[in-house]
Amino acid sequence: MTATTTLSSKFQISIPKEVRDSKEWQAGQEFVFIPKGKGVLVMPVPKAEDLAGIARGAKNLDYRDRKDRV
């Protein structure tokens, strides 16, 4: 899917309908802009309830802690 849009004089960008529909984005949804090289990654900010249990089953082995830093 390739879609283009234009930056308005008010520095606003409309997200093409095919992108909104495929990602199920809704009006009023919050997004974060992450600079990546010469571009920007646009991602929706997850709701707190969507993050509940996301780390369930994660193992805490083989991780670095402050005490093992040199």
Summarised one tens digit per residue, pLDDT across range 5-28 is 999 999 999 999 999 999 999 999
Domain carrying residue 38: 20-46
Domain count, the chain: 1
12 lies in some domain: no
35 lies in some domain: yes
56 lies in some domain: no
Query: Global pTM?
Result: 0.63
pLDDT category of residue 47 using cuts at 50, 70 and 90: confident
The DSSP H or E segment spanning 21 is helix 17-23
Q: C-alpha angle with apex 14: 29 to 2, nearest 5 degrees?
A: 105
Q: Is-contact 41 34, C-beta < 8 A? A: yes
Alpha carbon 44 to chain centroid distance? 4
Report the residue count for the chain. 70
29 lies in some domain: yes
Q: What is the DSSP string of 24-70?
A: T--TT--EEEEEETTEEEEEEPPPHHHHTTTTTT----S---GGG--
Mean pLDDT of all residues in 59-63: 75
65 lies in some domain: no
Q: What is the pLDDT of residue 40?
A: 94
